[in-house]
Amino acid sequence: MCRELSLPAARRAVGLRLSLKALLDDTSAETFANAIRELDAVVEVIQSELHVRADGRAWLLSRQFHDVARHLSTPTSAENPGFRRLPEMLFSSNWVTREVLGALEHAGMRLPSELNGREFRHTQTRRWWNRSRRSPAGALGDALDQMRNDIEFRTRQIWFLLRSTGEEPPLPVIYSWAHADLYNGIHRTLPDRSVAAEVARLASVALDRRLPDFALCLEDADWLSQYAMNYLVPPAPDDWTVRTPAHLGRILRGRLSRWYFYPFTHGLEPLEMMASVLRVGRPLFYERNAVHAWLEYALLQGGAIAPQSATLYLEVLAGLEKDFLVLFDGYLLRLMFYPRLRTPEGWCGYLEALTGLHYRTGGPSELDSFRTTYLAQRGMRSPIELLYATAEQHGPLN
């Protein structure tokens, strides 16, 4: 397969063959981890090349359309007559038209004629997707997607096996291992009890600032650690160590993808984000993601920083601050739009605002006034004050 693709794919295939040969000679956890790592690299190269080919892009787009239509078809649209026009309303909205037309232009293709006027209807999109899956590119795409999920699952197991000493450690300790691996270029270790202590500290701040949803997420350090390991931490954190700001950006993009139910290494696209929201039938709980970002920021503030890492440390903090602001706005969007989701117009508005927040210049203009009022009621002018309030408790910069 790699010989049919580019030179980078062929080179990755050579690395995979060598790692598999080493695994036959030495069936240790280390050689297994290396083989899985090489296999993941091969899959990533092939997927990236497949998604820019016309036939591969057509398969991907058909899957995205089908996912949106499938989650639109049940149960709300079937139960509430007012939602029967939601598929057409969504497709005709400005942001969907912009994203779809851009995707079509990028792939050099047009939508099948059978979808005309019924672009997000289940029956029509299912036929298109099934037809695309029968093509060589579609069959390969399906297989690679399944492999990617399996690889990430196995990679998480191997990472834990390599870090574990044989005893069952508390969940906050496991999370502290992951945090230390991710930020090994800044500070190398965390005390075993630092995660639980920091969670308790943040819970106190959240209650003081009248943020009950945030405080609820911080009630149990075990729960938050488990949630982070499942949805917000790379499958093998030591392979994702932050050594440049670009590395942090890759982690934040992967985190968003995994949180929206796709593999960590998947590049989440707007239609996929929309399909995930429709899948659960409500906005995602952004306070959970924001609380984890807050915890991550606080743990970095509390560690000892080597002088040679000072520049990277400040750049990482700046990146985490920007990410926290986006996640906090995602939480506010959920509060602002939740009462409106009784109508199809409300769903169209929320999905447009959500994708604008992540892929465009930010949320809708009304979000600014909503944020100002919400924060003023809690004695704040900016969500950044939450981060800085925790940082002050750690004393001056190391």
Write the pLDDT tens digit of every residue in 90-116: 888 888 888 787 777 776 778 888 888
Residues 6+ apart with CB under 8 A from 52: none
In 3D space, the residue among 328, 303, 311, 286 whose CA is nearest the CA of residue 176 turns out to be 303
Mean pLDDT of 74-89: 68
Give me the amino acid identity at 143: A
pLDDT of residue 302: 66
Q: Would the pLDDT of 394 be above 80?
A: no
Q: Would the pLDDT of 81 be above 80?
A: no
Angle (CA) 39-40-41 rounded to 5° is 90
Q: Would the pLDDT of 396 be above 50?
A: no
Q: Would the pLDDT of 166 be above 90?
A: no
pLDDT of residue 181: 92
Q: With bands split at pLDDT 50, 70 and 90, how would you rate the model's confidence at 19?
A: very high
Higher pLDDT among residues 193 and 23, named by residue = 23
Buried b (16+ CB within 10 A) or exposed e, 238-251: bebbbeeeebbebb
| Domain limits, the chain | 169-398
In 3D space, the residue among 232, 170, 224, 371 whose CA is nearest the CA of residue 215 turns out to be 224
Higher pLDDT among residues 245 and 102, named by residue = 245
Q: Would the pLDDT of 82 be above 70?
A: no
Q: Would the pLDDT of 118 be above 60?
A: yes
The reported pTM is 0.90
Mean pLDDT of 238-248: 92
Report the alpha-carbon distance of residue 179 to residue 62 in Å, rounded.
Answer: 38
Of 100-104, 267-271, 280-284, 394-398, the poorest mean pLDDT is in: 394-398
Please write the tens of the pLDDT for every residue from 354-368. 999 999 877 888 999
